[in-house]
Amino acid sequence: MKFDTPATTNPIDQLKVVGKPTDRIDGPLKTTGKATYAYEWHDVAPNVAYGWVIGSGIAKGRIASMDLEAARKAPGVVAIVTAENAGPLDKSKRNAATLLGGPEIEHYQQAVALVVAETFEQARTAAGLVRIDYTPADGAYDLAAVKDKAEKTKDGDSVVGDFAGAFAAAPVKLDETYTTPDESHAMMEPHATIAAWEGDRLTVWTSNQMIDWMVTDLSATLKMPKDKVRVISPFIGGGFGGKLFLRADALLAALGAREAGRPVKVGLSRPLMMNNTTHRPATIQHIRIGATPDGTITAIAHESWSGNLPGGSEETATDQTRLLYAGANRLIGNRIATLDLPEGNAMRAPGEASGMMALEVAMDEMAEKLGMDPVEFRIRNDTQTDPADPNRPFSQRQLVQCLRLGAERFGWAKRNPKPGQVRDGRWLVGLGMAVAFRNNLLTKSAARVRLDQRGIVTVETDMTDIGTGSYTIIAQTAAEMMGVGLDKVAVRLGDSSFPVSAGSGGQWGANNATAGVYAACVKLREAVAQKLGVNSADAQFADGQVVAGNRRVPLAEAAGADGLSAEDGIEYGDLDKKYQQSTFGAHYVEAVVDAATGEIRVRRMLAVCAAGRILNPKSARSQVIGAMTMGVGAALMEELALDKRTGFFVNHDLAGYEVPVHADIPHQEVIFLDETDPISSPMKAKGVGELGLCGVGAAVANAVHNATGLRVRDYPITLDKFLDRLPAVG
């Protein structure tokens, strides 16, 4: 189905099932332990052997020698895979770092060997017996030190008007630099894969967000035909972008299984998560804003520097600044330098998550310079069109409504605009806010839908559910389209034998994958109508029946003994060129700071979101509060601590890499504006899973400033960065 004109009324608009806060249909499987995760497929691959990954002990250089003798002789060892015996391998275009390193080492804990043994314990023990001598080389590890060698990225700068002239002439100016650190996805389930060969065919049971990318990249890396690789990943214990790609677990499991001649399972240990896999790269962001005294922005510049391995991409931290605020003179661009750190790549809301942490603090600072309320300053600079192209409107932009409603619900009017004034016992109290913004991305997505003689509708698509609720919203979509209850819908996901979907990433999964299911259901409705000999436009699908004129036929009967099936997908025209599609929100945060110790705690949070039709308010809310939690982590504690001498992330476990725990997360409230966006898809929905993260960190930072009067422009905001500026303890 080609979607190239705005949606009109369609069966989804009935909202009998879609739009309801349905419990997740996969919930019981998960709470009873019956959902099978990657490492747990005990029955499908008999006689499995266990692989243990050895990571490089240096960040850059060469392996001088590798002594495998003791490991080979260790009890239970079946095989050892290294670059020497792995056979010829390619590198897929989505991987910057080589997944199996050696003799050249590109980053710390780059995988250099897989030890395969009869048991997990034997593999791990034998791995400890491998002796590797390295010849280290000098590397570049510190972004600040290589910043001046950075280059403009291939997209180039977005230049509108004359920034330099307008900024110089602006009566009120801000010129500040902000930094964000390297961050780790730290999802609950580490990367894990079971691989099994049958002749020249490979099956991997893994944990992956983008099934077709995985098939493509695994087959390319192994230099084998794509149709010989099957990927199965129905349940995923979190990914946050860390599982978008082929990683070492899947490649090494496949190589290990080939070498061992039997199935092999590989899970990455937690310490490997931080240095072996990908991370959100650190940024240095320079923001300049010029405005007239009434708060109208006349000039805005946002430049961001990040680093990566050769071939890796930049963190696109400035992209939202192209679209978020008006201003006639603009200079926006990303820069990239070469670093020999582990590969930087997508982590939830790549670009905006980091960029909004800087931009929205800059806006707060600017409002303060102008003596304006920060909410009003943002409203003053709202735009309903792409600031670089006035002929390109936003498909929907209810940012102002989000800001106003949020201010009212949160009690923003009670905020003392003068910082450092409100005290509650030992706590300094502050309120802060920030805008949420994230683009809505369109990408094609297909599904297959079957109707059987019991009246059961089965949906198959390689879409994934990374904890987001994909199973549930897809079931709601199919139920709505076919006029059945959720109990008559089965959803099967995460299998490369199913039609290729949008997958889970960039908050594009929900809208695109359900639109693909919508398309397949439209086709199935046509098949049902055709079978009944009625015009599909006249057929009503409701209550498990098809009604056409005077006829009323149960779906089960219409399906017949052989059932009916249909496959289709959604493809998009140029609506995302004619219109800018984005999602919007407003974050409000109350934070307190211990006047003596500088410890920061968040007391309450509110997000108001405008993100098209909300397919399931319950799972959408869960996405947003999870994102708000992640934003608290980014603001206050998350940082991969870099050893700049030797180039590795030192705090490589969950004791050292702190993420918020329950005690850190207070009352959270989420409000969704009642919105539909007919430009986005037949579902009229948009992404929401990343919107909730964008801007939260800045809202926390702004609340801390309101509490203390102090600015920290170097995330995370930890007490050591401002302790000496707090008033004396008295």
- In 181-296, at which residue ranges do the beta strands (DSSP E only) sit? 192-198, 201-206, 229-232, 264-267, 283-291
Work out which of 104, 121, 175, 543 binds another protein, going by CB under 8 A. 121
Q: How far is C-alpha 648 from the geometric centre of its chain's CA atoms?
A: 24
Work out which of 7, 18, 58, 609 binds another protein, going by CB under 8 A. 58
C-beta of 159 vs 650, nearer to another protein: 650
Q: How far is the CB of 651 from another protein (least distance, A)?
A: 5
Give the pair of three-digit tokens for residue 390: 């006035």
Q: How far is the CB of 720 from another protein (least distance, A)?
A: 4
d(CA 674, CA 611): 9
Work out which of 6, 57, 136, 563 binds another protein, going by CB under 8 A. 57
Give the pair of three-digit tokens for residue 274: 């931080």
Residue 62 touching another protein (CB under 8 A): no
Stretch that binds another protein, among 194-202, 338-346, 454-462, 713-721 (CB under 8 A): 713-721
Q: Which of 518, 521, 540 is nearest to 449 (CA)?
A: 521
d(CA 554, CA 637): 57
Please report, in angstroms and rounded to a whole number, the separation of the first and last CA atoms in the chain: 69
Annotated catalytic residue 639: no
Which string of x and - marks every residue 262-281 that binds another protein (by CB under 8 A)? ---------x----------
Residue 660 touching another protein (CB under 8 A): yes
Longest CA span, the chain: 85
Instruction: Find all residues with CB under 8 Å of 223, minimum gap 6, and list them.
Output: 88, 89, 90
Work out which of 664, 669, 671, 673 binds another protein, going by CB under 8 A. 664
Q: How far is the CB of 166 from another protein (least distance, A)?
A: 41
Given a contact cutoff of 8 angstroms between Cβ atoms, the answer to whether 178 and 711 are in contact is no
Query: How many degrees, rounded to 5, is the angle at CA 377 between CA 727 and CA 595?
Result: 15
Phi then psi for residue 718, to 5 deg, are -105, 155
Stretch that binds another protein, among 377-385, 460-468, 572-580, 660-668 (CB under 8 A): 660-668
Residue 663 touching another protein (CB under 8 A): yes
Please name the helix (run of DSSP H) or strand (run of DSSP E) that holds residue 472, with its range, or none.
helix 470-482
Stretch that binds another protein, among 332-340, 479-487, 641-649, 698-706 (CB under 8 A): 641-649
Stretch that binds another protein, among 167-175, 385-393, 501-509, 635-643 (CB under 8 A): 635-643
Work out which of 642, 691, 701, 710 binds another protein, going by CB under 8 A. 642
C-beta of 577 vs 645, nearer to another protein: 645
Give the pair of three-digit tokens for residue 560: 């017949």
Residue 625 touching another protein (CB under 8 A): no
Residue 594 touching another protein (CB under 8 A): yes
C-beta of 144 vs 661, nearer to another protein: 661
Phi then psi for residue 451, to 5 deg, are -120, 125
Give the pair of three-digit tokens for residue 718: 């930890």
Residue 179 touching another protein (CB under 8 A): no
d(CA 489, CA 486): 5
Residue 414 touching another protein (CB under 8 A): no
Work out which of 89, 625, 641, 673 binds another protein, going by CB under 8 A. 641
Residue 424 touching another protein (CB under 8 A): no
Determine the length of the chain.
730
Instruction: Find all residues with CB under 8 Å of 92, minimum gap 6, and list them.
Output: 216, 217, 220, 221, 246
Residue 299 touching another protein (CB under 8 A): no
Phi then psi for residue 435, to 5 deg, are -85, 150
Work out which of 656, 669, 709, 714 binds another protein, going by CB under 8 A. 656
Stretch that binds another protein, among 35-43, 315-323, 348-356, 591-599 (CB under 8 A): 591-599
Beta-carbon neighbour count of residue 175 at 10 Å? 12
What is the b/e burial string over 622-661, where b = at least 16 CB atoms within 10 angstroms of the residue's CB? bbbbbbbbbbbbbbbbbbbebeeeebbbebbeeeebbbbe
Work out which of 16, 30, 94, 124 binds another protein, going by CB under 8 A. 124
d(CA 482, CA 510): 19
Residue 118 touching another protein (CB under 8 A): no
Given a contact cutoff of 8 angstroms between Cβ atoms, the answer to whether 220 and 209 are in contact is no
Which string of x and - marks every residue 71-100 that binds another protein (by CB under 8 A)? ----x-------------------------
The catalytically annotated residue of 189, 259, 360, 690 is 690
Please name the helix (run of DSSP H) or strand (run of DSSP E) that holds residue 629, with its range, or none.
helix 617-636
Residue 44 touching another protein (CB under 8 A): no
Radius of gyration of the chain from Cα atoms? Answer: 27
Q: Where in 127-156 is the site for another protein (CB under 8 A)? A: 128
Q: How far is the CB of 420 from another protein (least distance, A)?
A: 16
Which chain residues interact with another protein by CB under 8 A?
57-58, 75, 121, 124-125, 128, 271, 426, 594-599, 601, 636-637, 641-643, 645-646, 650-653, 655-656, 658, 660-664, 716, 718-720, 723-724, 726, 729
Q: Annotated active-site positions, please?
A: 690
